[in-house]
Structure 1
């Protein structure tokens, strides 16, 4: 089985308004997932450096970031990062340009963990429902046109407040949702803004929201996770 997780780390700024990457890393250790999609992992201005320093991750984490070959100081694309176990093999990785009013994007990687290979997409969609649906269509089209096929996981902050309409309906035509639960706001979660979706080749064995004391302080979102099994 493979454990995946998605976490909007809010640029490393916790509810105490302090930027604390060590606290984010503590939460990642608690979750202990094989593949992690991060959102808001870059600073907003300037060179948009990643808020989770490479040396901190290298020395104190069991993960490496997928290299998308874009900004030198950033780990990902528009704040989207995919972390994988150091023992994993990254077969391919690319950034996906999304139509948007805000700076938005998605990232994709094919990852081999042991004998299993999965395709992982991390995303952070727009605040506008119209643009979210356009972005969902772009992501789905991009996956559909890939030459190689792999069991696929879509993860991220969809910014969708509805229960089952909008972009949820679009993704739901081809992907099953892991029923992880409400993840926003971390102090008192009431909305399922963060989602994990899987293709038909994968089964969600177990899933949930990680609501430890550290997670409730580290970001305004709680991380979500799922244990997956190939069918």
Structure 2
């Protein structure tokens, strides 16, 4: 079994409007997932530097970033990043260009962890329903053209307020949704904007929203998590 998580870390800016990457790492340590998809992991303007300094991960965590960054100082691609255990092997990774009016992207990695292989996609979709559906189609097309099939996990902030329409219907044709619950806004969560979706060759054993006191302060989203195992 592996534990995964998705977290819109809001560029490290918490409820007190202070940027504090140490709090983000503290929350990640509380969750203790094997694979983590981060959104808003890089600053938006200028050189788009990573919010979490690499030394924090090196010295205070058991994770390493997957090398999907296209800018020297960035952790990810358009703010999307993937963290994996330092013991994991990253077989392949890439950035996915998404159609959008404003810069949007997704990231993907093939990971081998404790003898198991899994394909992970991290994403942060548009505020517009029309563009979300176009972006979902681009991600699904990218996966369909991969030469080697693999158990696949999609995670991220979908920005979808509806219960089963729009891009959720598109993803739902091939993926199962973890029933994690509402994660936005962190102080009073009512929206299920953050999602974990697994291919049918994976079983979702358990899942939830990480609503610790630290998580309620660290970002405007709460992290979500799931425990997965191969389907039998």
* Residue in structure 1 matched with residue 55 of structure 2 by the alignment: 55
Please state whether the residue corresponding to 2:146 is helix, strand or coil: coil
Work out whether 1:210 is the aligned partner of 2:207. Answer: no
Q: Does 1:88 align with 2:120?
A: no
* Alignment of structure 1 residues 106-145 onto 2, 5 Å: 106-145=106-145
Deviation at 1:44, TM superposition (A): 1.2
* Partner residue in 2 for 1:223: 223
CA RMSD of aligned residues (A): 0.5
Is 1:39 aligned to 2:39, yes or no? yes
Report deviation, 1:70.
1.2
179-188 or 53-62, which deviates more:
53-62
For residues 153 and 76 of structure 1, what CA distance do their matches in structure 2 show?
A: 18
CA distance in 2, matches of 1:190, 1:170: 23
Which residue is 2:197 aligned to? 197
Structure 1 Cα separation of the partners of residues 61 and 101 of structure 2: 35
Q: Deviations over 1:66-107 (max 9, x none)?
A: 002511000110000000000100000000000001211000
Residue 73 of structure 2 corresponds to which residue in structure 1?
73
Q: Find the aligned partners of 2:8 and 2:102 in 1 and give their Cα distance.
A: 17
Q: Distance in 1 between matches of 2:204 and 2:166?
A: 23
Query: Given the two structures, how large is their TM-score scaled by the length of structure 1?
Result: 0.99
Aligned equivalents of 1:207, 1:174: Cα separation in 2: 19
Q: Report what 1:7 is aligned to.
A: 7
Structure 1 residues 73, 168: closer, same or farther in 2, change over 3 A? same
Q: How many residues end up aligned between the 2 structures?
A: 231
| 1:180 match: secondary structure | coil
TM-score by length of 2: 0.99
Alignment partner, residue 188 of structure 2: 188
Can you give the 5+ residue segments of structure 2 that lack an aligned partner in the other structure?
Answer: none
Once the two structures are superposed, the pairs formed by residues 89-104 of structure 1 within 5 Å of their partners are 89-104=89-104
Q: Output the CA distance in 2 between the equivalents of 1:9 and 1:170.
A: 26
Displacement over 3 Å in runs of 4+: none
Instruction: Give the Cα separation in 2 of the matches to 1:58 and 1:51.
Output: 14
